[in-house]
Structure 1
Amino acid sequence: MRDDLLPRETPVRLIDPRGDGVDDAHYTAPDIDRLRDAYRALVEGRRINDQASALVRQGRLAVYPSSHGQEACQVAAALVLDEPDWLFPTYRDAVAIIGRGVSPADAMVLLAGDWHSGYDPAEHHVAPQATPLATQLLHAVGFAQAARHRGESTVVLALCGDGATSEGDFHEAMNFAAVFHAPVVFFVQNNEFAISVPLSRQSAAPSLAHKAIGYGMPGERVDGNDVAAVLAVLGEAVDRARSGGGPSLVEAHTYRMQAHTNADDDTRYRERDEVQAWIERDPLTRLRAHLVAQDALSDDDEQRIAAGAERIAAQLRAALNADADLDPEDLFRFVTAERSSQLEEQWRMLQGEIARDALTQAGAQP
């Protein structure tokens, strides 16, 4: 077995849970300015997560799969990509999507129950959020291969969770990417649970990163709550793909601090003590402690960052509390390039129902 394909026995770590730096023989921590940028993004991501969860309770979002506690993975996924690169996210990756320039309100449109993704993928180089597990991985590999045929330097970062590694699409995507040397990085956010199913029931492999070996690509493990380490490991994988080195798999070890979604009761399958233990590994407080120790984060800095996060939350609330201006014809306008006779007939029927309802409403007026 080639040693260069094997992941480490323990995940890469550059900042420990106390905020102390950790020396590594291979990876170097990002500079302070980049870590300060990451900290701002972590604070904003946490605020977005908490605000979106509140909007679910208020009935303004149909569902929200929070990435609370996983923000280091989200932030790093956005920061390691260049402008021409593409992100292929899952339903839990709203913070990463926003990090690529999509407005928070647009990133929530799909989760509010609308019929479209809420943003233009071509404008932001972000594919629509994928709800079915692992389907976006095949799309990501195809996109990366097409970019390679066009002679572009595009790298595709394909996100998924640990549960997705049990899907056939995951393995098909890995195999195709490796065989055709596609410039794609598979980023598995291993948060320990696929809804209620723990990782121990998903895989018997030493780690999910070890799955890369079978396809002839390198795998690496990283502390997913250490944003410095995730930036370093993901950054190297992206650079490798861009320089013609082919695909790789990065497994981030993190934890889903909250329920799968608002429709899930996580007390049925995990103990509170387990969740509590991960609070001490919080990516936000870890990086904050590190920056404070480096005299790189003042009280004024924190207040300014917090105020910026609050403005984002306020804008998100305002956007989702506004009543939508709905056009019923949108139900038919974008189904096909040319509207079929059957769709045209259905649209006329709906127009008749709307007109009758309007007459009824008018007649009911005093």
Structure 2
Amino acid sequence: MDDGRRVVLHVGAPKSGTTHLQSRLNRNADALAAHGVLVPRAPADDGPASLAFRAALDLTGVRLGRPRRYTDGWWPRLVEAVTTHDGTSVVSDEALVRCTDATAARAVRDLAAGGAEVHVVYTARDLARQLVSGWLEGLKHGQSLTYGDYLARARDGGLKPLRTYDLPTVLARWAGVLGHPERVHLVTVPPAGADRDLLWQRFTAAAGLDPAWAPRPARRSNDAVGLPEAQFLRALNERLGDDARRGGRWHATVRDVVVGRGLAGRDSPRVRLDPAHHGWVAALTATWLAQVRASGVDVVGDLADLEPVRTDAADWVDPDRVVPAAVGAADAALGALAALAAPSGEPVGPPAYDR
């Protein structure tokens, strides 16, 4: 670890192992503190890891359905915690990827107060898997857009989340604000099937930490649902309409009970990129990687990890079509409904203002 004050700002991207990394950071906050590393946390009665999340929403002004009372004033609280710490601070939340040039400049200015050296870490996975995960994450939050329409919008530039995956734009924003591209660290997410601890090792290398300082494994990860579960979830969202979306009366139930307890983590066929879309995804990735190589940012990992793997057309199943093996979809539905009925037949409280 460097001498003096240092702030590591992990800004995303969404669906790039951020939940896993944040879980490990928070679970080992006390162990890291013994080495002079601060992982800012809210009071215990305010929910796990909410300080960085609320602060990011306050900074960016993107509240994701939360009321102002949930976000207002949290960025200054985070800044105070970091600027009064004599050592390294690690702040991680993917909502920070929504920063504009102006809010990114404010973030660096505020966190650098008193002479701290600010570094930015951006974790990224290949665009093929990123797009799939983005569609599945949308379903978890009440969206009902078909997979085909989702990919078409991404191809044609009409998909807002694609902006948070745009490597050159995000990296250039933070490099420009810092004035030191070498203080921007691009961490590549290992390919499917790799040792899961490899992402943690790469992240700690970028952050200047010893991975041994956080020995306890992550407890949480944002596991995606499989293909039959996704089909069921999209049909459910269509039926519930706005009630399944952020702020809706069934949003917390769908997200936390139907998905969290009933659908996630099942051993089901995975949703994969439509082979018909591989060409533009590969071409866009090649353009992005060429710009990254010329940018001067620090790459931790292998840029080859970000090259999309082509889906075998013979094995691909369209999520917008009914799976012939209807038993899988029926079993997924039964699992979800059983989880929903277990606590009660009512929504899980009012819309939950947490992660």
Q: Which one has the largest radius of gyration?
A: 1
After TM superposition, the score normalised by the length of structure 2 is 0.33
